[in-house]
Structure 1
Amino acid sequence: MKTPVFTRARGEVVGCSIGLALAAGILASCGHGRTESACEEQYGVGETTTPRTGVVRAGFQVSQPPEWVATEAPLLTDHVQVTSRQRFVRAGESYFNADASWIIFQAVPVPADAGQDPSPFYAMYVARLVRDGSGRIVGTDEPFEVSPPRSANTCGWFHPTEPGRILYASTIGEPAGDERAGFQVGTNRYRWAFPAEMEIVTQVVRPMVLTFDAATRAMCGTDYLASPVFSREGYDAECSYDASGRFILYANVDPAKTSPGGRADADIFIFDTRTGRHHTIVEAPGYDGGPFFSPDGRSICYRSDRAGNDLLQIFIADLRFEKGPDGVPIPVGIEREYQVTDNKAVNWAPYWHPSGRYLVYGTSEVGHTNYEVFAVEIDRDLLARGRASDLRRRRLTHAAGADVLPVFSHDGSLMMWTSQRGPTVEGEERSSSQVWIARWSGSPLDREWRE
């Protein structure tokens, strides 16, 4: 495997999934790897390789940090790029494990041969984060590819209580290519695809397990190959666990609801891993997907194209529960739904802050050629009165190129997202999408929104 670029920064820079495909016109990049000299030329840095570990570390001090370093402070600081164009044609849609020691992400690797075309599909990877003596993230160890060969993959997630276990969506084999029509913005040639072979799978990552102590290893399973969690007709993906690991939130495209050549109709479900039952949660016309449980497990956030106008809006819903035979409350539907955005933009990939007080999401509100990350407070009183436009919002990212797919670590100290703010490669019009992490300090935002 090729060595990944490893970056180290103090507010400075070095160096098709469902989530990424929406902004593919912005995020897509082609060509071959960035050279060290190109990196030095753009940022005045040099890279050194540590042969024993196979990790590339960047030793530098940037003389002129980009303007966004100051603009994004004090909310985002200590920016670091943790995947590289040298290693991946593009990478993104990443998530932390429970203690933010590992990340899972999808990526298209740079081909081994210079004349070879990159894979048309994303593979799934996990990587251990590396920190310096002060605890600041400086990069990753060598990423491990975990998905089956030649498969299409998306939407990775870590099990919250079983160390080393992951969840993601995979075709397991090579897709047939007769994909259903997906979401498309106007006449843009980039669209989401919903391959019917896509299944939600789980497996234990052996390289992760080998890093655990003996007591933790004893808790891990040995199913190292991807296997479906369940099997049903149509596309199943956009999956995540609740905090207990019992319930899986996901989106399904039912072939029976989609006419040949028509737009796929995705709905949101919850799968109970204990009983094997599927509960319909959101069933509205058009696409509804990208759901996540709130930190307290009482609500979900998601995106919807139910208006049928080639835009996406953000929604939240309070779940309805029924007591199961074992006395555990089972989410079986929604009590109330709230629309959080109502504009002429594409708003997507909402994600909860651990406090549950606000969401972060990517939006084309600034412009359809430059998606940015925004935060929006969740005030149910305003939402219940239909006053979503009165919710307080804050733009968080300010770099050229797309900034999308924001997520938080479980303790809220880090934000990770997919960005095009890195250096460009000769022959490419824009920077490739890669994974970035920054320290999150929400205190100024909390103080501002309490006033």
Structure 2
Amino acid sequence: MIMKPAAKEKPSILKSALLGLAVGGFAISAQAQQPEPDGYAGATAWEPPAENTNFETTYESQLLKNSYQLVTDGARSGEGYFSADGGRFVYQAEMPGNPFYQIYLMDLASGDTNMVSTGIGLTTCSWIHPTLDRVMYASTHEDPNALTKQAEEIAIRESGEDRPYGWDYDPYYDIYVADSDGGNLVNLTNVMGYDAEGSYSPDGSKILFASNREAYTRSLSKAEQALLDDDASYFMDLYVMNADGSNVQQLTFSPGYDGGPFYNKEGTKILWRRFNPDGNSAEIWTADSDGSNQRQLTANAMVNWGPYFHPSGDYIIYSSNLLGHANFELFMIDPEGLNDPVR
């Protein structure tokens, strides 16, 4: 999975200084919309994990078998998801001639692959409809400056300029749905702000996604505007809408990034990653599908990432750098968080 953090690097001095000014005001705004505001991703300071047999690597041979690389073309690829029937695989990849990710669909039986997105602008976060021959993804191709930005990125890379990795929360990202060959493309969100990280409900009737649109649709204080300029992910929350883009509802109201949400097999629960307001760490949370009964499962002050329900419902798999800042490993935890995670 491609990392999209406000937490890859330590927060800027500007952001740290502004958080004390803006968090309180933002919480008041949230309370006006929701009687009981969300919690924060709380954790104590990080400490090296104590000796724990759950972290032994002997489990790997029992839990992960027949591993092999699916995508070998292009400079890099990620955000790969299987179709509901397991026959197809959708992902984003950076291919020669285009510095930005595009969306590709692979038939796992034949290995045949086709591009679904337009080839213009940034794309991310694709998902195959569970019953229809349709693919959802986020894209900035309707940004009036999309081609200019693409050319600028090519020039920067050709110059050899060294830059740290960072995800672009471009406000022109919208969520689209298209046929599997890229035809009949429809914009489902069509509002200013980063709309992405979408997934279908098991029956295909709903789309769960992440957005910072709220920061673009209301008047921000000076402190909030500075936060948005410094780190647009701070305003990210979870939303749900009908599969045709109608009936958009906000589910979370927490300062700091909420994103990467998915449903369980029954469509009754959701889970996601929630960064603390300063963007230093992310924890795994679950809730009912309407956003109620939120529950924090991890609290290790590290980056816990990409959670997903196992179809059995018995456990959640996720990635974490608990064992070292640059070392992401896979862990399992029960859906209630009652037991220690297993590596």
Q: Which runs of 5+ in 2 are unaligned?
A: 9-55, 151-162
Q: Which runs of 5+ in 1 are unaligned?
A: 1-16, 26-67, 112-117, 131-139, 179-187, 207-222, 320-332, 380-387, 396-451
Aligned residue for 2:225, secondary structure, equals coil
Provide Cα deviations, 1:342-400, integer angstroms capped at 9, x if missing partner. 11211111111012221111111111212111111112xxxxxxxx5x523111xxxxx
- In 2, Cα distance between equivalents of 1:200 and 1:275: 9
Contact 1:172 1:226 in 2 (8 A): no
Aligned residue for 1:78, secondary structure, equals coil
The answer as to 2:68 corresponding to 1:104 is no
Contact 1:314 1:350 in 2 (8 A): yes
Contact 2:129 2:136 in 1 (8 A): yes
Q: 2:201 aligns with which of 234, 242, 245?
A: 242
Q: 1:166 aligns with which of 127, 135, 143?
A: 135
- In 1, Cα distance between equivalents of 2:112 and 2:102: 15
Aligned residue-pair number: 271
Give the structure 1 partner of residue 61 of structure 2.
73
Provide Cα deviations, 1:20-49, integer angstroms capped at 9, x if missing partner. 344998xxxxxxxxxxxxxxxxxxxxxxxx
Give the structure 2 partner of residue 393 of structure 1.
341
Contact 1:288 1:306 in 2 (8 A): no
Contact 2:257 2:279 in 1 (8 A): no
Distance 1:24 1:89, change over 3 A: farther
Contact 1:269 1:282 in 2 (8 A): yes
- In 1, Cα distance between equivalents of 2:69 and 2:328: 18
Q: 1:127 aligns with which of 83, 86, 106?
A: 106
The answer as to 2:316 corresponding to 1:316 is no
Aligned residue for 2:120, secondary structure, equals coil
The answer as to 2:3 corresponding to 1:20 is yes
Matches within 5 A, 1:382-421: 388=337, 391-395=339-343
Matches within 5 A, 1:282-321: 282-319=252-289
- What is the RMSD computed on CA atoms of the aligned residues? 2.8
Give the structure 2 partner of residue 259 of structure 1.
225
Question: Greater helix percent: which structure?
Answer: 2
Aligned residue for 2:195, secondary structure, equals strand
- In 1, Cα distance between equivalents of 2:244 and 2:188: 11
Q: 2:238 aligns with which of 246, 268, 281?
A: 268
One-letter identity of the residue aligned with 1:231: N
Q: 1:200 aligns with which of 175, 185, 198?
A: 175
Q: 2:188 aligns with which of 221, 229, 233?
A: 229
- In 2, Cα distance between equivalents of 1:147 and 1:24: 28
Question: Greater strand percent: which structure?
Answer: 1
Aligned residue for 2:3, secondary structure, equals helix
TM-score normalised to the size of structure 1? 0.56
Q: 1:141 aligns with which of 101, 111, 132?
A: 111
One-letter identity of the residue aligned with 2:170: P
- In 1, Cα distance between equivalents of 2:243 and 2:84: 20
Give the structure 2 partner of residue 59 of structure 1.
none
Aligned residue for 1:72, secondary structure, equals helix
Identical pairs, percent: 31
Aligned residue for 1:230, secondary structure, equals coil
Give the structure 2 partner of residue 61 of structure 1.
none
- In 2, Cα distance between equivalents of 1:362 and 1:23: 17
Aligned residue for 1:295, secondary structure, equals coil
Provide Cα deviations, 1:405-443, integer angstroms capped at 9, x if missing partner. xxxxxxxxxxxxxxxxxxxxxxxxxxxxxxxxxxxxxxx
- In 1, Cα distance between equivalents of 2:7 and 2:281: 15
Q: Once the 2 structures are TM-superposed, how far is the Cα of residue 340 of structure 1 from its aligned partner?
A: 0.8
Contact 2:88 2:108 in 1 (8 A): yes
Provide Cα deviations, 1:186-217, integer angstroms capped at 9, x if missing partner. xx9332221111110001123xxxxxxxxxxx
Give the structure 2 partner of residue 28 of structure 1.
none
TM-score normalised to the size of structure 2? 0.72
- In 2, Cα distance between equivalents of 1:150 and 1:274: 23
- In 2, Cα distance between equivalents of 1:205 and 1:274: 17
Contact 2:283 2:301 in 1 (8 A): no
- In 2, Cα distance between equivalents of 1:266 and 1:120: 25
Q: 1:362 aligns with which of 319, 324, 332?
A: 319
Q: Which is greater in Rg? A: 1
One-letter identity of the residue aligned with 2:252: V
Q: Once the 2 structures are TM-superposed, how far is the Cα of residue 229 of structure 1 from its aligned partner?
A: 1.6
- In 2, Cα distance between equivalents of 1:263 and 1:293: 27
Matches within 5 A, 1:324-339: 333-339=290-296
- In 2, Cα distance between equivalents of 1:71 and 1:342: 23
- In 2, Cα distance between equivalents of 1:76 and 1:359: 15
